[in-house]
Amino acid sequence: MVVELISVGTELLLGNIVNTNAQFLAEKCASLGLSMYHQVTVGDNRERLAEDINTALQRADIIILTGGLGPTEDDITKEVCAEVMGFKLVEDPHTRERIETYFKNSIYPVITENNWKQALIPEGCKVLDNHNGTAPGLILEKAGKAAILLPGPFNELKPLFLDAVSPYLQELQPEVIRSQMIKICGHGESQVADQIKDLIAAQTNPTIAPYAKTAEVHLRVTARAADDETAKSLIKPVVKEIKNRFGDDIYTTKEEETLEMAVVRLLKKYELTVTTAESCTGGLIAGRLVNVSGASEVFREGFVTYSNKAKRKILDVSKGTLKKYGAVSEQTAKEMATGGVFATDADVCIAVTGIAGPSTEGDKPVGLVYIACYMKDKVKVEEYHFKGNRDKIREQAVVKSLDLLRRSILANYRG
C-alpha cells in the first residue's frame, strides 16, 4: 500500500514554520508498513492543489492532506479535494452541532458566518470528530483510493491520527513491518558503509539504511512479513552480523536511546559518578548529560574553565604546564581531568580543551582538541583534529567525549 502526503499551506512555502507534521505522519505511516514515495508541499492555491491531488491519486493508494481546513477564505483543501474526487459538499448536522457546542464553551463565544463552512462535508465521507478544534478529520473513499484530510495544528492532527486514522490504516494493511536500530560511534558514514557493503549489496528483506549523525552513524534494519514473528526472525541474523562487525563501536540498539542516555545507563550500572571539566565545549557535555532524565544520580556538578586562571584555580592545573605546553595540550587535558576528580567527590572526570576557532592559538591549528578521561587513578587522553566551523568542532568534541567516557567504563568495569 502506497501513501502520499500533501501538506497545504503558504506558510510552509515561505519558510515561516518547520513541517513537523510531515515527520510525524511519515514515521507513523512507516511503522504501519505503508510505503511513502513522495511528500508534497503546496500553497493555498486551487489550481496547484488540484494538480497535486490528481498526481498523488494516480501514484498512491492513500493520500493524506494536512492543513487548509480552517474557516477562512484561504482554507481550500476540503473544497478542492471534493471537487477533484467528484464529491458534493453537504452540511453535516452532527458536525454543526459539535461546532455550536465548541463555541459555547470557548473564550470566543461568537460564531461568525464562515465558521459554518466547517460543517460542510463531502457527501458520504467518514467524519472523524476533532476534540481539540472545529475542523473534523475527513476520509473520502472512491474507486479503491482514499483521501484523508486532517487539520494543520499539531495538537489537533496528532490525536485525530492516533485515535481514528491509525486504526483505519491498520485495517487496510495486510503486511507487518518491523525495524531495529543500531547506533554506532567511532566511524564515519562511508567507513560504516564500507564495512557492510556486502550486506547492503545482498539486501532485499530486511533492508539496511544508514543515517549519518554528527560523529555517529545509525543503521536501521527493516523487515516486512506476514506476521510479527517472521519479521523479527528476518531481522535477527542481520543485526547479529552487524554486531559482530562493529562490537563496542555500537553504543545502543534501542530506538530511543541517545549516546548520553547510554553513558548515564552505564554510569548507573557500575554505580559511578562523573564530573566535567570543559574548556572549548563550554558546558555542552554537562548539558548533554543533564538532558537525561534521572542524570542527578550520576552527575552532581561540572565546571566550565574557559580561562587559564579558571583552569588553575578550579582544577589546579599547574602554572608550569600551562606555560610549557599551553592550554590546548595533552598535559593540560590530563591535569584538568585529574583536577576535576579531586575538586569533587566524583569517580570519573571527562575533560576537554581545544581550539574551536575561528582564530588559531600560536602554532596550534583550529580543530585541535584533547579529550581526557580520569578513571581508577588513570588518565586516558585522545588527540583529535576536527574539521568544520566552530559549532561543528564543538559538536564533534562533545560526541567524542561522551564516547570516550563510554569506552573507558567498558574497558575498566565490564567483567
As a whole number of angstroms, the longest Cα–Cα distance in the chain is 84
Please give the Cα distance from 127 to 24 (Å, whole number).
22
Pick between residue 92 and residue 395 the one whose CB is nearest to a second copy: 395
Stretch that binds a second copy, among 140-148, 239-247, 352-360, 371-379 (CB under 8 A): 352-360
* Rounded least distance, CB 50 to a second copy, Å: 13
Q: For residue 152, which of 251, 46, 76 has the smallest C-alpha distance?
A: 76
Residue 232: which H helix or E strand, with range? Answer: helix 228-246
* Rounded least distance, CB 415 to a second copy, Å: 30
Between 151 and 180, how does the x/- string for binding to a second copy read (CB under 8 A)? --x-x---x---------------------
- Name the amino acid, one letter, at 179: S
Among 289, 336, 337, 372, binds a second copy (CB under 8 A): 289
Conformational region of residue 401, where left means phi above 0, alpha means psi within -120 to 50, and beta covers everything else: alpha
Among 66, 77, 180, 281, binds a second copy (CB under 8 A): 281
Stretch that binds a second copy, among 76-84, 142-150, 207-215, 233-241 (CB under 8 A): 207-215
- 382-401: contacts with a second copy (CB under 8 A): 384-392, 394, 396, 400
Spatial neighbors of 166 by CB under 8 A, at least 6 apart, are 28, 32
Q: How many residues bind a second copy (CB under 8 A)?
A: 114
Please give the Cα distance from 9 to 197 (Å, whole number).
41
Q: Does 167 sit behind a cis peptide bond, omega within 30 degrees of 0 on the bond before it?
A: no
- 13-52: contacts with a second copy (CB under 8 A): 13-20, 22-30, 36-43, 45, 48, 52
- 84-113: contacts with a second copy (CB under 8 A): 102, 105-108, 110, 112-113
Pick between residue 32 and residue 87 the one whose CB is nearest to a second copy: 32
Sheet of strand 2-8: strand arrangement: 2-8, 62-66, 145-150, 137-142, 126-128
- 304-333: contacts with a second copy (CB under 8 A): 304-307, 309-310, 313-314
As a three-state string, the secondary structure of 216-231 is EEEEEEEEEECCHHHH
Spatial neighbors of 17 by CB under 8 A, at least 6 apart, are 11
Where in 104-215 does DSSP place strands (E)? 120-122, 126-128, 137-142, 145-150, 176-185, 207-213
* Rounded least distance, CB 97 to a second copy, Å: 15
Q: For residue 5, which of 148, 112, 136 has the smallest C-alpha distance?
A: 148
Pick between residue 233 and residue 291 the one whose CB is nearest to a second copy: 291
Please give the Cα distance from 169 to 173 (Å, whole number).
6
- Name the amino acid, one letter, at 184: I
Among 290, 325, 326, 380, binds a second copy (CB under 8 A): 290
Quickly tell me which residue has 559549532 as its cell: 391
Give the cell for residue 220: 536501521
Pick between residue 12 and residue 147 the one whose CB is nearest to a second copy: 12
Among 62, 135, 285, 371, binds a second copy (CB under 8 A): 285
358 binds a second copy (CB under 8 A): yes
* Residue 118: alpha-carbon gap to chain centroid: 34
* Rounded least distance, CB 62 to a second copy, Å: 14
* Rounded least distance, CB 30 to a second copy, Å: 5
Among 212, 226, 410, 411, binds a second copy (CB under 8 A): 212
Q: Are strands 126-128 and 120-122 parallel, antiparallel or unpaired?
A: unpaired
Stretch that binds a second copy, among 77-85, 230-238, 297-305, 347-355 (CB under 8 A): 297-305
* Rounded least distance, CB 18 to a second copy, Å: 4
Pick between residue 112 and residue 233 the one whose CB is nearest to a second copy: 112
253 binds a second copy (CB under 8 A): no
Pick between residue 122 and residue 367 the one whose CB is nearest to a second copy: 367
3-state secondary structure of 184: strand
Pick between residue 87 and residue 182 the one whose CB is nearest to a second copy: 182
* Rounded least distance, CB 107 to a second copy, Å: 6
